[in-house]
Structure 1
Amino acid sequence: MTTRRRLLAGSSAMAGIAALRIAHAQSASPLTPNSFTPGADPEAPQLDDVVAPGLQRDVIIRWGDPVLANAPPFRPGFVTEAAAARQFGWDAIIAGIVNPPQAQDGIARIVMVLSHPDVAPRMVFPGGVDRPRIAGKMQGASVLNLSQRGGRWVVVDGGYQSRRITDGTLCTITGPAAASIGPSVQGVLAPGIGCVTPWNTVLLPEGRTNSWVARLADKAAGFSSPTVGAGFGWVVELDALNPTSFPAKRTALGRMPRAGTACGMAGDGSAIVFMTEDAPMGRLFRFKGAAPIGDGSGALDAGTLAVATLEGSSIVWRDLPPGLTSLTATLSAASDGARFDAPAGMAIGADGTLYLACSGNPGRGVDQVDALNPRAGNGAGHILALAPAGGDLAASRFAGRVILLGGNPNTDPTARYTPGSLAWLRSPYTLNFDAAHRLHVGTDQGGAVTDTADGLFVMNVTGYGRYALDMLYLAPIGGAIGGAAFGPQGRTGFTVARHPGATPNADFAHPATRWPTVQPDMPPQTTVVSLTS
């Protein structure tokens, strides 16, 4: 075990899921060159996952495991449409956890929602020959009932809220585009980094749906019409606690390929939704609801869209014209928006600060650098803190600062970490806060094999030792991290090892690892795990 991995020598060091070893912190000032702890070194990708000392890792669910009670056993290479529509998907990102009403039996229960953004034919189907009708059922989303039994969280077989959302799920259309699209549409495609709303629903942002529409055209039922694409590219709102509810596509939030969302509340009680454009030079958008949230019904059906523009190190929100009903109007109306290095996941701090993960953009030129994207040609990524004036998420100006510049500090002179950091990373992708206001960072290098594995890291963003970085969990080779979420008592966190074994040259027959089963007749499987102190 390397110095980098000597985290949390015992559970007494933990308050909740993870505590930084802030006794090592030298300063509260971020971005000091060569501040990495002496002796800390990279951890090359492993065939197995790596868990920090002091944490217990348990498997919650894997690709092919049942979500619905009538799901058949997983038969890799022979999955049918019916099976895929009932089993856990190939890829996964945690959108969030919602808490159902307390049951009379006193057993702790949670409902977890996960998006399934992708299905890679080379890793899923023998010979790499795509089977779009099956792939359409493997993607979408899963809603899982979990209960605590014997001190462990387990998936409830046949749970009341358990359901799968796929390319065949009927959704309602609300907001300004409903008049041109119609009241309903079939399917949710390519959902990315979702979030939980203040009124306890879940947002699932559709990402790059055009490729999915083309993939399914004339192959899957409901995708033969040339106009079907208009029904995709929206933010989907899901009432996870009501299994009979229809997902709703909220067109007031605009249409674009999104990477992630974060939802909060403005000072006047209205809803605020931040959205990142899924692009190497992506933009940051904000939706502000027209009225106070109330019970949440209709909170996202009317309001104002804005794009972030850059003034020095601050972002200033410019409202887009009202009533953008055109299917291409959102991005075209935001042509002056600031361009970030592949913006992805976000999280809102207790003080209203918006944290933004930029996963890196090797294509940024020297003449394109700015205060919030300070490096040209760098794919290691960075994290921004954007603080709204007065702490109000509806403020017109947010003061920005870079709190981490990713990369190996031993070989990359532009990498920056706070003194006392015990880890380093590349390509931050997901951001999530725990109950103690620590920021959890999940990375995604796209399956590339580099000198470090993708992992889940933690930062203290307030108080002594702020912005020092430490490691909690590493995915196996070819894998990435699909976000984080936290149990109600705070001693258990959940994360996802996404698509392990999916290195650039791997395929169904020759994955880079067969984790987690390590059986010759089983493929590698995306796996949700719990981490308990």
Structure 2
Amino acid sequence: MSKDFSTMEDSNRSANRSIHEVSEPSRRVVLRGGLGALLGGTLAPLGLAGCATLGASSGGPLLGFKSVPVSTADTITVPPGYVAQVIAAWGEPVGIEGRMPAFKFDGSNTFAEQEAQLGMHHDGIHFYAQDGAKRGLLVMNHEYVDDGLLHTKGTGVWTANKVKKSQAAHGVSVIEVELKDGRWQQVLPSKFARRITATTPMTLAGPAAGHALTKTAADPSGTKVLGTFNNCGSGMTPWGTYLTCEENFINYFNGPASPDAHGKRWGLKKVDDTLYRWHEFDERFDAVKNPNEPNRHGWVVEIDPAKPGSTPVKRTALGRAAHEGATVAVTKDQRAVVYMGEDARFEYIYKFVSRDAIKAGGAAANATLLDHGTLYVARFDAEGKGTWLPLVHGQGPLTAANGFADQGEVLIKSRQASDALRATKMDRPEWTAVDPKTRKVYCTLTNNSNRGRDKQPATDAANPRANNTMGNIIEWLDDGDYSGTTFTWKHFVLAGDPALERADARGNIKGDAFSCPDGLWVDGRGVMWIQTDMSTSAMGKGDLVNMGNNQMLAADPASGEIRRFLTGPRGCEITGATMTPDSTTMFINVQHPGESPSERSDPDAPGKISNWPDHKQGGRPRSATVVIRKLDGGVIGS
């Protein structure tokens, strides 16, 4: 995933309004000590007085820990009374019987060994309990790779084997973990251990399966796809499966110098030697020769972690996008609703509502549940109101005359369909989270510094953040149920630093300063966990000068208070959050420690920025899962 502000995708040139153009000017107020002029309605921090939380109802505050300070150290910092333990680092064996190669710190592991090891750049993660809070499966994404660290000599002398190793370091890992003698550890070997990579066979299902736009010479059926990659956020279904999301997939494809309108709308371009170069040894990734191959990616993929031999399924009914995550809620009549953000400048927020109710019987009974239903895109209107617009063929502008021959084409071209419906252009919508107690839904809008450029919407009287370097979190409540087609919305918080001179970068945080919110999760007590992803090209500079390393914070949605809970090592992103059922163990991921501003490390100096977590002489930084527990065995965050 390219996070450099100068290279991040920005391909939406529709005339649709942005989120900053729908606020009401008459509701402007002055906030003391915050932004000089902000909107008191949709841009005010939430104050949900009277909304009970589990912490409040028990007579104590929801947040019971002491904040940690901003840090630039090459380590993990957690509050007093907590301990952080590193497990499951890149290159460790996942636990496949008879295939447990050790990690080699010089980068000399082969692609065959990498296929049996944890991948690179850990991201979304979920815990599937097997024995309550003592044993379970961790399923995690591996978003992308740093070829400077992955190979002994980096990208020098590019070979087919390096492409295969890069492909093997992408995807998903399933590992088994247990709490033993007071520490968490991997179970090796494990019958559940599995790697899913960029070459794993999987199936296309739903309305776009078998479509003319998904057929290739290698797969005339249009239903059999190899691999998943750039897996960012994730979701966990009530029936026990894992949803992994294909985000910036287009960066892996070499396109023509002048792509057609469809390719251009998805950011397809001719690649240079700073990207993945897979097409040089795998023609599947040459979209000039295989123009339909990109259409087979950009989906939400469903995996059954309890069945290591099962085939992953790409659920096309959920739409094609640069998916950041997929958060599942359940309606009162037991239908599944999946909320999804698309992490690119000026892209959209989606939700899918299943046609059928969730059945008893787990994954097998719900094997096709996500193949039938309605996909919607959000339009955020003025006065804090909004509408979910259905992406249904034949309705409104989604007709053959406008370039949508059928429902499959609507889903493959979900961006163009959303453009036609005049959905609201957002500032990089990323992770979504649902609070089951209040039924409120949240989405992180990480940043967007391209407003006003190249015909994009600029600021006006109702839009105080033209250069949105800090990001924000938006909140909405669907009318009636999660399946409602209208909603009310507000901005939960505008991230920022009150010490800055630039007014529209100060934010309105009640508590500890942060910027660039990305990962987001609401736990069983109602605590909102916020994780940041400041680009290494911008970290410590400009508006981010005081922010230190990336971090994780906890928020009380009722009071709006936000406290810093964790800081990560240098050059990393903090991402992914999950807990054991009793909330006494939290698992998070530390992605790309030591990342350079170019996002590719110098193979001759791999530990130049960070040597976390091993701090081994001659070693290299490794993404890893971190286990967090209270010393007294209590509930995390309390």
Matches within 5 A, 1:38-77: 43-69=70-96, 70-75=99-104, 76-77=106-107
| Amino acid in the other structure paired with 1:217 | H
TM-aligned CA distance change 1:65 to 1:374, over 3 Å: farther
- Equivalent runs, 1:22-421 vs 2, <5 Å: 43-69=70-96, 70-75=99-104, 76-100=106-130, 102=131, 108-129=134-155, 131-180=162-211, 181=214, 182-214=222-254, 215-217=277-279, 219-220=281-282, 226=290, 227-294=292-359, 295-312=365-382, 313-322=384-393, 323-326=406-409, 328-335=412-419, 336-350=422-436, 351-365=438-452, 368-369=458-459, 374-390=464-480, 392-411=481-500, 412-414=502-504, 415-419=506-510, 421=511
CA distance in 2, matches of 1:286, 1:361: 22
- Partners of 1:46 and 1:480 in 2: CA distance: 14
State how far apart, in whole Å, the 1-side matches of 2:374 and 2:431 are. Answer: 22
The structural deviation recorded for 1:64 is 0.9
Separation (CA, whole Å) in 2 of partners of 1:278 and 1:80: 32
1:444 to 533, 536, 542: 533
Rounded Cα–Cα distance in structure 2 between residues aligned with 1:341 and 1:373: 12
Cα distance change on mapping 1:107 and 1:458 into 2, 3 Å: closer
Aligned partners of 2:209 and 2:323: how far apart in 1? 20
Q: Secondary structure at the match of 2:166?
A: helix
Q: CA deviation at 1:173?
A: 1.4
Q: Hey, what does 1:29 align to over in structure 2?
A: none
Maintained 8 Å contact 1:372/1:402: no
SS at match of 1:77: coil
The 1:504–1:218 alpha-carbon spacing in structure 2 relative to 1, beyond 3 Å, is closer
Aligned with 2:73: secondary structure?
coil
Paired residue type of 2:148: R
Contact 1:372 1:400 in 2 (8 A): no
Distance 1:145 1:529 in 2: 15
How far apart, CA to CA, are the structure 1 residues paired with 2:463 and 2:186?
A: 41
- Alpha-carbon deviations, 1:263-316, whole Å to 9, x = none? 112233221111112211120011111111224221110111111012112321
CA deviations on 1:417-438 (whole Å, 9 max, x unpaired) are 454x2x2111100111222110
Judged with a 3 Å threshold, the aligned counterparts in structure 2 of structure 1 residues 425 and 202 are, in CA distance, closer, same or farther, namely same
Structure label with greater radius of gyration: 2
**1:170 partner amino acid:** P
CA contact (8 A) 2:391 2:417 kept: yes
Aligned letter for 2:145? V
Counterparts of 1:364 and 1:107, CA distance in 2: 46
Contact residue 508 and residue 523 of structure 1 kept, 8 A: no
Between the aligned partners of 1:145 and 1:196, the Cα distance in structure 2 is 17
Using the TM superposition, give the Cα deviation of residue 254 of structure 1 relative to its aligned residue in structure 2, in angstroms. Answer: 1.5
Partner amino acid, structure 2, of 1:360: N
Deviates more, 1:259-268 or 1:428-437: 259-268
* DSSP-derived class of the 1:136 partner: helix
**What's the counterpart of residue 551 of structure 2?**
455
- 3-state DSSP of counterpart to 2:339: strand
Question: TM-score by structure 2 length?
Answer: 0.73
Specify every segment of 5 or more residues in structure 1 that has no aligned partner in the other structure, as ranges.
1-14, 25-39
User: Does structure 1 conserve the Cα–Cα contact (< 8 Å) formed by 2:76 and 2:84?
Assistant: no
Give 1:147 shift.
1.1
CA distance in 1, matches of 2:584, 2:445: 29
Does the Cα contact within 8 Å between 2:125 and 2:588 map onto a contact in 1?
no
Deviations 1:129-155 (A, max 9, x none): 163221110010111111111122211
Cα pair distance change 1:380/1:188, threshold 3 Å: same
**TM-score when scaled to structure 1?**
0.86
Q: Which amino acid aligns with 2:408?
A: T
Look up the match of 2:567.
Answer: 474
From 509, 514, 517, the equivalent of 2:604 is 509
8 Å Cα contact 1:340-1:373 kept in structure 2 = no
Percent of counterpart pairs with the same letter?
Answer: 27
Matched, 1:425 2:498: no
For 1:330, the aligned partner's letter is S
CA–CA separation in structure 1 for the residues paired with 2:143 and 2:463: 27
Q: How far off is 1:347 after superposition?
A: 0.6
* 1:212 aligned partner, one-letter code: Y
1:20 aligns with 2:63: yes
Instruction: State the match for 1:5 in structure 2.
Output: none
What is the CA–CA distance in structure 1 between the aligned matches of 2:114 and 2:329, rounded to whole Å? 34
Distance change >3 Å, CA 19–CA 524, structure 1 → 2: farther
Report the alpha carbon displacement of residue 20 of structure 1 after superposing the two structures with TM. 1.7
The structure with the largest strand share of the pair is 1
Distance 1:42 1:417, change over 3 A: farther
- Secondary structure at 1:362 match in 2: coil
2:576 corresponds to which residue? 483
Question: Which amino acid in structure 1 is aligned with residue 448 of structure 2?
Answer: N
Q: Is the contact made by 1:372 and 1:384 (CA closer than 8 Å) also made in structure 2? A: no
Write the deviation string for residues 326-362 of structure 1: whole angstroms up to 9, x where unpaired.
2742111100111111110111111211111111111
Give per-residue Cα distances to partners, 1:355-405, cap 9 Å, x unaligned: 111111111239545899751102111111111123x11111221111211
Equivalent pair of 1:355/1:384 in contact (CA under 8 Å): yes
Contact 1:117–1:140 (Cα < 8 Å) also in 2: yes
